[in-house]
Structure formats: structure tokens, C-alpha cells
Structure 1
């Protein structure tokens, strides 16, 4: 048993230090704004340490990929694939900048003894688009980095294992599903609701998942890029004051991270985390 859903108790994750993240490569709407500015390396490393400290405090074991110069964006560990209870799915990156991560993460997962149950080869699939709604129900964003061909490969590989897999198309500016929608507790999500397709909203309603609504601009401030720790706990950003207050009003314990520099490259706490084990 590896990862059985998106909100049970998180026990182990895979991350990667931002050692070679020197600039915000203009490969998404957020990083384009910072493409001519060097990133503050000391701040990046401090923010990464904050994430590690938060996981240690929460009782989550952290495995780390060794950073390499050829993998500038490998701090966003989420994107190489997805993990289910049977093993992991190896994705297919859209951006050439990230191609080197494919083999590095595959090698790391083999080292960790986690079986590869499926690889997306013909289409595109990145882990930021992979979201559990229930133990057997998975939503997949069709936004900017995952396409229908990749989705169809995922669906064909997961359906025989008993999973229902649903596509969630959205505006390409949103990059990944985890930028505009995130399940933070069994029946609670944070999302820019107006940006989600009707069929998906109907599915959420049928599953009785309540949505904490955020405005569109919150997407680009990583307002939805939260990591559920299970047991009504969630990692969020200190700057997300409205979201954090709303989460607390819904009975969530919010662990705030003061991360700002890493965001310039286009990812937050959820992007930085690949779950390996949830119980």
C-alpha cells in the first residue's frame, strides 16, 4: 500500500532541494513575470528547509532526490508522475527543460522500492494534474501540461485496477489542476470554482465535497497550492490569509510556510511534494 487517497495521514514524501534553480525559466504564467531577475538562492534554500521542518514536525518522513545541474526545476517533485496504492505512474513532461528529471525520478523510485505500474509514453502527463477525489476516483487536469492523449493512457492503465478517472479541462493559464483546485480534507476543497467545468462541479457536488471559493487571482498567488497532511491538517502559505482563515473556520489546522521566492518559478508546497505513503 502506497498512496490510497489524497487526504489520509501523510507518512512519507519525496522532495528535491532547489540547488540549481538560479532563475525563473519562462515556462508558465507566473515565472514569465520574473524571467529577467535572478532568484535569491539563500532564500530558496531557506524556504525548502521550512518545508522539510514542517514535515518533520508533522511526523512525515522525507526522502530526497539528489539535485543535478541539468534539472533546474526538480524542486517541483510533484510533476514527474502520480502515486496510487499499487505503485506509481511515471508521467511525460511537456517542457524540454524538465526532460532530465524523468530518468532521475524513475531511478529514485526504483531505489525506494516503489513499483512503476504505468508509464505515459505517447501523450503528456504531469503530476500537478493528478488529484484523488475518493480512494477509487481520480481527477486529471487537461490544462497546459497534460493532454487528452496522456489522459487516455492514464485512464486505460488505471481503470482495470478499479479506478474511475475523470478529465478536468481548464484555461491553459492555470498550468496544472493543483493551481486551481485542491482537496484538503475528505469533503473539503479549495478552488477557483468559476474556472472549473460544469461536469466536474457536478461530480464534486455528487460526492458532497464542499468548496472554499477563491478568486481567479488567487491561482497566481498559489492560493490553491496546498498540501493535505491528513487528520484535518494542511500546509499553506503565510500570505494566503483569506484562504487560511476560511480553512480554520472549517476546522482545519493550518501550518503556514513563509515561502515567496520559490513561487516565482511557478510552484508552491503541493508542487514541491510527491507523496509516497498515506495511511
Structure 2
């Protein structure tokens, strides 16, 4: 058990503790292999490790406690883990909802071992807060598809990697954690819309940035006692969020960023910084840029690579 209590009620509060995982020790040497493992380009593991160390240092320089779970694995699983090429995308593995931890379920078999490894550690660290999955329940749920909007509402995408069955088996735990609404959206299935956080992200306590096509999608709003439909902008607006619609964007660097605190964003050096400057609520934001180009070739960004364990 670690010396802090997990606590997350938003995407924008001060980040105090985050879980990461260093990249695999394997290269993905050519485009054909990259395409077969659903990456966008070849990746050299030495460059990826350099990106990761700079990323980790930036978090620590900002005062965030970093836990690299790869350092905590038992010797008998280390060799396998070092060959799991997606293991640094830790966001999908679990999520802290309020004061409980709900484990994810991999949407593709390629990623299942890393879920098991991380869950075993988290259950050991936080035995009273970790909700182990029913072994027979099934239903994929990757937490790149989840945004914790505030203490009332959670936003979930069912799509390429997350199923409605995964949400159904989890919703009662989310309500039990203290949230009153779950908004479910069903976005297109493509590499550019793989998870919710490749389509929208919380950028301020009262502002979400989102790809403009999302305005046309309804949200199925679940409560403990009923359900109804609303449009995306209506659902977000009712929970206090204006939507900054993006017509032009580069998906991973522009949308997949991380809030370090209410005033500071951690962004990719490849991000279009004007996106964060052309809205009045964002003009005073501090932007910390980091080099994660090699890691981004794997198909995810900064948010994908971080699992917040404690925000205040």
C-alpha cells in the first residue's frame, strides 16, 4: 500500500500523483509492422525512452509524484512486460472515480497482459479501493473513452475499444462512487476517433474543446432512476461547460493534452498552440511543451500515457 489515498473528481484539478509506464524494450522497425500493430509509423525504443524520461521529468518538475509501474513488477513478469509495446498507454488500464478505482477491460487481446499486470499492483497498493472485475462479466472498457467532468457527471464513449456491456457492468460502481449522471456517446469507429480523448478534452474548469462533428451526436444520459437523450452541447452545458468547437486540428497533439492544475497544461511540442490562445478563457494558460513525437507514433498522446491517481 502506498502512502496516499487515490482521489479524482475532475480532469482539471491540481494533479498530485500520476501513474506512468516506461516504453517497451522492442523496436517497431518498419511501416508494415507498425500498421499490423495499429501504429502510425515505426518507433525506435531508445528514442521512445528518451521521450519518456523527458516527459517524466516535466511532471516531476511541476511537483507531481510519478509512479512508473514497470519498476514495481515482480521479476517473473518483467520479461514479458518489456515486450508489450502498448504498455505505456496507462490511461486505459483503470480510472479513479472519486475515491475508488475501477479496473478497465482491454478492447483488443494485444493489450490484455498489461491490464493484468497493472491491476495486480493496484489491488496490492489500494486493497480497500480497488474494485476487482467479475472474471465472467466481459465487456471492454478502456478509460481513454472516459472523461470525469466534475463531481456530478462522467462522459463515456462506446466505440472502437469500449462496449455498452462494459459501461453497463460499471455504471452502478460509478453511481456508488458519488456521481449522479453518466453521459454515453457513440462516436465513429476509426483510427482518428479511437477513444473519447482523441475527440474532446477538458481544457478548463468550464470549457471543453471538441471536434466540430461531435455537435451532431446525441448523448444517452443515465441516472440511477432513469435515462433520456440530449445533444452533446446541451449535456456539457448543463454541467457547466462551454464547448470550443474545433474545425481544424491534428488529433493527437492538439486534443490529447493533460491538465497539471487549473492554470497549466502539459502539451506536445507538435500541438497547434493557437488552439489554446484563441479562446478568452485560455489566453492566460501556462503551456508546458514536451517532446513526445516518438511516443505519439504509437497512436496516442500525453493524456493516453498518464493515469491520474490523485487530483485536488
TM-score normalised by the chain length of structure 1: 0.90
The Cα of 1:266 is off from its aligned counterpart by 0.6
- Find the aligned partners of 1:243 and 1:119 in 2 and give their Cα distance: 39
Which 4+ runs in 1 deviate beyond 6 A?
A: none
The Cα of 1:243 is off from its aligned counterpart by 2.4
Aligned to 1:62: 66
Contact kept, 8 Å, 1:18 with 1:44, in 2: the verdict is yes
Relative distance call for 1:260 and 1:86 in structure 2 (3 A) is: same
Contact kept, 8 Å, 1:179 with 1:222, in 2: the verdict is no
The Cα of 1:25 is off from its aligned counterpart by 5.8
Aligned to 1:18: 23
Alignment equivalent of 2:253, drawn from 211, 222, 231: 222
Alignment equivalent of 2:240, drawn from 185, 197, 208: 208
Q: Deviations over 1:216-270 (max 9, x none)?
A: 6522x43110111123211111111232434784321111112211111111110
> Which deviates further from its counterpart, 19-28 or 43-52?
19-28
- Find the aligned partners of 1:12 and 1:58 in 2 and give their Cα distance: 11
Secondary structure at the aligned position of 1:182 is classed as strand
Of structures 1 and 2, the larger Rg is shown by 2
Question: Are 2:185 and 1:168 aligned?
Answer: yes
Q: Deviations over 1:28-59 (max 9, x none)?
A: 4xx2x42xx3x122221111112111111110
Relative distance call for 1:25 and 1:107 in structure 2 (3 A) is: farther
Relative distance call for 1:277 and 1:249 in structure 2 (3 A) is: closer
Relative distance call for 1:138 and 1:5 in structure 2 (3 A) is: same
Contact kept, 8 Å, 2:90 with 2:304, in 1: the verdict is yes
- Find the aligned partners of 1:183 and 1:2 in 2 and give their Cα distance: 18
Aligned to 2:74: none
- Find the aligned partners of 2:278 and 2:131 in 1 and give their Cα distance: 38
Contact kept, 8 Å, 2:149 with 2:155, in 1: the verdict is yes
Aligned to 1:151: 167
TM-score normalised by the chain length of structure 2: 0.81
- Find the aligned partners of 2:301 and 2:147 in 1 and give their Cα distance: 16
Aligned to 2:228: none
Relative distance call for 1:209 and 1:89 in structure 2 (3 A) is: same
Give the number of equivalent residue pairs. 272
The Cα of 1:127 is off from its aligned counterpart by 1.1
Contact kept, 8 Å, 2:97 with 2:177, in 1: the verdict is no
The Cα of 1:162 is off from its aligned counterpart by 3.0
Secondary structure at the aligned position of 2:293 is classed as coil
Aligned to 1:187: 206
- Find the aligned partners of 1:208 and 1:136 in 2 and give their Cα distance: 11
Which structure 2 residue ranges, 5 or more long, are not aligned? 1-5, 29-33, 71-77, 219-230
Question: Are 2:1 and 1:4 aligned?
Answer: no
Which structure 1 residue ranges, 5 or more long, are not aligned? none
